[in-house]
Structure 1
Amino acid sequence: MKIGIDIRSTLKQKTGIGYYTLNLINGLAKVDPENLYFLYSHMRLFDFKKRLPDVPAPNFKHRTDRLSFRPDLKMNDMDTFHSSSYDMPKFKSAKLITTIHDIIPLVYPEGYPSEVLNKLEHNIKKVLNESALIITDSNNTKKDLTARFGPKNRIDVIYPGRDESLAPIDNKKKASDYLKNKYGIEKEFILFVGTIEKRKNVAGLIEAFLDLKTKKKIPHLLVIVGMRGWGGDAAFRLASNSNLKNEIIFTGYVTRKDLESFYNIASAFVYPSFYEGFGFPIIEAFSFGVPVVTADTTSCGEIAGDAALIVNPEDKDALREAILKVIDDDNYKKKLIEKGFARLNLFSWKKTAEQFKKIFYEIGGQNESKKN
């Protein structure tokens, strides 16, 4: 069977979708040595800003469109074609499978221009009509799609795997010394990782932290790792206007080495987001053995399960008490950490790739059992 995969998101500076696509093809290379995979890209001649990723196995080949954006012609000999993009033209014979990671702008539209929202809605309607199958990262995104657009076609949920390149550092003192030298961090700290934007509820986290510092006299710092996004100014103002502003550290974007160090040393990870399509930082924290407090809204509670302390992110008192519990109650913290490690079994790229392989056979019109 010929299977096409859209890898355009991997060619330049990678975002979440680019890493998703790379992890997917690497996972498929490990579980499927039989089928032929063709990796679709669009690159003009002498385009030195883009770079093709290495093919992960002999049954994977690049198929690069150098003249015009016509994947419907370049890839129409495929049995099935997968993309995470909404701009695919309609194929004559290849069956299209589309992953919709989230519809955050449509569900949480504050800050997005109307023309952007209208275009996104139009493109998603087109994808829903032309895809043989839709895949989402979470049941929550599936629910949002169905509620907004109706059950037009089949939607399957396939959890992505965790980033296994992020790994705990055996020598915690080394990580601690590194953070001290680079960021001046010498105390225990509570950690948040993500873009600093309104829907992430960073301002709510800061309010809860300031309450704990004032009323409970906790010794911890609050470390906020991530770039400034839309609506994030409120969080910065809240911190800068406080007489405890030196207890709150905004790092901005950090390298993966720095991120590993932060996860390794954190006393707790708090992710009180109002809306998420998946919530990768939650499982990253699990993999480092950090106890997690997260929201009961959207996909956060779904991904965390019973391995985190779940709270209503609108309830500042509940958030404050949850943070206090995970940093003060050692027995409870230990139980959460154990459950977090167990929860990671749900999120592996091998498992994700195996589920994709079965779908490729099903949608591509072949029965896997007949091949073996």
Structure 2
Amino acid sequence: MSHKRKAVLWIGRMIFGENYRVREVELATRLSEQADIFALDHTAEFAGLRPGIADKLRMRLNLIRSPLEVMQSGSLTRFRMPVAAGTGPLLGPAAADWNEHRLRGALKRFACDSVYLSTPFFFLPQKQRDYRVHFDVIDNFHDQWANTRTGRFRRAFHREQLRRADTVSASSLQLCDYVQRLADRPAVYIPNGAPLADMRDAGPGAHSIRAHYGLENRFVVGFIGNHTMPFYGLERLVRAFVMARESRPELALLIVGPDADRALRYCKGKQDGVFIVGPVPPGEVAAYFHACDAGAHPYDPRPQTHDAMALNVIEFSAAGKPVLANPLKEFQRLALPNVRFTDSAEIHAWARALADRDSFAPFDRDALREHVAPFDWDRSAGLLAGTLGIRGEPPPAQESAPRQEVVHFHRKPLPDYHSIEKLFRALSDAMLPHAEVRREQCPEVSRAILPRLRNLRWAKRVQGEVNHITGDIHYLARALSGERTVLTVHDCVALRRATGLRRWLLRKLYFQWPVARAKIVTTISQATKDELVRQTGCSPDKIRVVPDCLSSAFQYSPSPFNAAMPTVLLIGTLPHKNLERTVEALAQLPCRLRVIGRLPQRQRELLKDSGLEHSTDQDLTTAQMVRAYIDSDVVGFASLYEGFGMPILEAQATGRAVVTSDLAPMSTVAAGGACLVDPSSVESIRAGFQRVFSDAGYREKLVADGLANVEQYRPPRIARMYLDIYDELRRGVSTPAPS
């Protein structure tokens, strides 16, 4: 007994040909083996993946022409139908009505009872209808204009689309969460993919490509995809590559895809090593991925790219290649073992990463194969077939766990002041499976009255469901809803330095008023909590102690101890870091120093007069800081005052002995895994270093105790503490802090 094939009207980015690899085309092509697919074809409509002004004008003129034209018949029928492209509050409703009329005509013409729709096309199905609608969410493009009238309209329009659909799917975990937040309904997770069987074996084509372009003795970084949009990061990658080749001349950059020749304008006359291929036929794409030694994904970090699952990362992974990418949320959540992230999207950060061989270090290939297995177009097509009810496929499970929405407020960066930003970057990454964290950076440096007022006005505008002031800019609490605000105070050192009227203003603006305003206050140590209570007079029950977390970048790296001439690493040069006494204590011991921090002239003269062999650095990246710890034998941190003491944990995690102060919170943070000294006594500091240098058994015990200590400071545990606090605020419940 034969079964009638299901007929599906397919409305999406159906762009056919050699220039594009598009999700909707991949899925429709595979489903056409099981059902009759009638696809709206945009190949001839657009010059690129996004319609330009000329495209939109041509589309509107086409509305008066024949409403429907079949271009190719078969199991995958391609047809052309003019679509109204109203994207704002004025033309959007009229365009949606027009498109609904056209959609009904196409349903009748092709005898379909189901519709597949994908963003960003403006179809709004009627509430009362005689056909089923499936909505496939492939991006959240309207969030690019979130605070504009057009953005608000698009968001409301998209919410209504999702609510009216019979079923909803999304191409990434981030977009599943987006659907849950926007429309309060779950989505089926149907990920983007790759033709895994083809990608894993490219045959001899890869060798031919390397030979053709003369790449045999080069390390080839590939950027394969569509390069038509500025936010794809082509300029960032090319400019960073030119800088990286100065220290790593064997690098080559292979750029494949539409508009690849735009790269030449960013080379600034230094085109050596940049190879432009342009678009290639789909059957040859796998060979180009295999011709590369590594891949690059330099897309701008923005709502659209954070939530999307880019095809080229999956394809490079399927080919077994390492990938360097901006820290985009979707790929952080996927945790593919071959994907490494840059410190930031800055060109200099990319240049450092490209020049660093560790960016493309070996990885567990068996683990990668297991991670990539779900990202196969055949599997995704099967999931969609089940969702659409094609040939009785069972419907897949839906992603239904809602995540918290949190806004992290950060200060505008300043040189030498980036520890808070690094801390909360690690925490927000650890929160990704449980919360949608939006990072907001102050537009102004907090100096003088007017910049602070502008920051206050900005903070009020961008606040969210739960707001977290991550440190330093405490005064922002005055602009935020107090019942939904968490304030983190790292230390009270500013009050120790200030006197007179300035001290009074600091206490009011940065401590007393913000602490009174925020619903919950956190400090990073018990010592800071005790001092904050003394300075503000607030109830201790309002303040929770949530320690800093240790970045996962710091891992155990054992190395032989240089007993003849140990290298001592000193972190920080501000007055409370106690550099002067530490240098004086070490001047009589056989060692060399490495000092991290910006040195004033008097400290430079001190180091010179000490007679110690020394080197200095400043503004190091996380990777460079990791290397500084690895290259040291002992870490000195005999500070007079700290809010926490993160260098203690970083040294312990690396497997280095630490000499630190016998004052809280340093002694508490060290937890027996450090040599404690009196920071006010040069003799005590010297004796501590002498013991660590000379007593191997004592040194080994410090390292072992330190390694055990750091486990309680890993990001997932500390992130969980903050997530519990956010949940209290969201539910309107506040649990008193433990005494």
Please classify the TM superposition score into its range, dividing by the shorter chain length: 0.7 to 0.9
Q: 1:6 aligns with which of 408, 423, 440?
A: 408
Matches of 1:98 and 1:286 in 2, distance apart?
29
Residue in 2 that maps onto 1:57: none
Q: Does 1:287 align with 2:287?
A: no
Residue in 2 that maps onto 1:54: none
Residue in 2 that maps onto 1:223: 594
Residue in 2 that maps onto 1:82: 468
SS in 2 for 1:249: strand
Q: 2:588 aligns with which of 208, 211, 226?
A: 211
CA shift in 2, pair 1:96/1:221, >3 Å = same
- Give the C-alpha shift of residue 240 in structure 1: 2.3
Cα-to-partner distance string for 1:94-118 (whole Å, 9 max, x where unaligned): 42110011111213x1xx5866544
Letter in 1 for 2:592: L
Q: 1:20 aligns with which of 423, 443, 460?
A: 423
Matches of 1:93 and 1:15 in 2, distance apart?
26
Whether the 8 Å CA contact 2:409–2:467 is kept in 1: the answer is no
Match runs of 1:1-372 below 5 Å:
3-9=405-411, 15-30=418-433, 32=434, 37-40=437-440, 69-75=457-463, 78=465, 80-84=466-470, 85-88=473-476, 89-92=478-481, 94-107=483-496, 109=497, 117-123=503-509, 124-152=511-539, 154-167=542-555, 188-212=565-589, 218=590, 220-228=591-599, 233-242=601-610, 244-245=611-612, 247-365=613-731
Whether the 8 Å CA contact 1:169–1:260 is kept in 2: the answer is no
Whether the 8 Å CA contact 1:267–1:327 is kept in 2: the answer is no
- Give the C-alpha shift of residue 268 in structure 1: 1.2
- Give the C-alpha shift of residue 343 in structure 1: 0.5
Matches of 1:67 and 1:136 in 2, distance apart?
23
- Give the C-alpha shift of residue 211 in structure 1: 2.5
Whether the 8 Å CA contact 1:135–1:156 is kept in 2: the answer is yes
CA shift in 2, pair 1:11/1:251, >3 Å = closer
Matches of 2:659 and 2:633 in 1, distance apart?
11
Cα-to-partner distance string for 1:235-288 (whole Å, 9 max, x where unaligned): 43333234x24x233344444444333311322111111011111111111011
Cα-to-partner distance string for 1:59-97 (whole Å, 9 max, x where unaligned): xxxxxxx99934335436x2x321123132344574211
- Give the C-alpha shift of residue 300 in structure 1: 1.2
CA shift in 2, pair 1:87/1:148, >3 Å = closer
**Structure 2 stretches lacking a partner, 5+ long:** 1-402, 445-453, 735-739
Whether the 8 Å CA contact 1:7–1:21 is kept in 2: the answer is no
CA shift in 2, pair 1:329/1:316, >3 Å = same
Whether the 8 Å CA contact 2:557–2:655 is kept in 1: the answer is no
CA shift in 2, pair 1:152/1:210, >3 Å = same
Whether the 8 Å CA contact 1:3–1:360 is kept in 2: the answer is no
- Give the C-alpha shift of residue 366 in structure 1: 5.9
Letter in 2 for 1:106: L
Matches of 1:279 and 1:4 in 2, distance apart?
27
More RCO (CA 8 Å, sep 6+):
1
Letter in 2 for 1:222: L
SS in 1 for 2:432: helix
Whether the 8 Å CA contact 2:596–2:617 is kept in 1: the answer is yes
Kindly name which structure, 1 or 2, has the bigger radius of gyration based on alpha carbons.
Answer: 2
CA shift in 2, pair 1:207/1:12, >3 Å = closer
Letter in 2 for 1:227: R
- Give the C-alpha shift of residue 188 in structure 1: 3.4
- Give the C-alpha shift of residue 190 in structure 1: 3.4
Matches of 2:500 and 2:727 in 1, distance apart?
40
- Give the C-alpha shift of residue 192 in structure 1: 3.0
SS in 2 for 1:306: coil
Matches of 1:140 and 1:94 in 2, distance apart?
26
CA shift in 2, pair 1:233/1:7, >3 Å = same
**Percent of pairs with identical residues:** 19
- Give the C-alpha shift of residue 350 in structure 1: 0.4
CA shift in 2, pair 1:367/1:8, >3 Å = closer
SS in 2 for 1:196: coil
Cα root mean square deviation, aligned: 3.3
Matches of 2:724 and 2:660 in 1, distance apart?
33
- Give the C-alpha shift of residue 339 in structure 1: 0.3
CA shift in 2, pair 1:145/1:332, >3 Å = same
- Give the C-alpha shift of residue 317 in structure 1: 1.4
Letter in 2 for 1:18: E
Whether the 8 Å CA contact 1:166–1:260 is kept in 2: the answer is yes
- Give the C-alpha shift of residue 227 in structure 1: 1.6
Letter in 1 for 2:729: I
**Structure 1 stretches lacking a partner, 5+ long:** 45-65, 177-184, 213-217
Cα-to-partner distance string for 1:312-360 (whole Å, 9 max, x where unaligned): 1112212111101111111111100000100101211101111111112
**TM-score, normalized by length of structure 2?**
0.39
Whether the 8 Å CA contact 2:662–2:677 is kept in 1: the answer is yes
Count of paired positions: 317
- The range that moved more, 15-24 or 85-94, is 85-94
CA shift in 2, pair 1:287/1:167, >3 Å = same
SS in 1 for 2:665: helix
Matches of 1:298 and 1:2 in 2, distance apart?
34
Cα-to-partner distance string for 1:174-218 (whole Å, 9 max, x where unaligned): xx9xxxxxxxx9x73332332212211111111111133xxxxx3
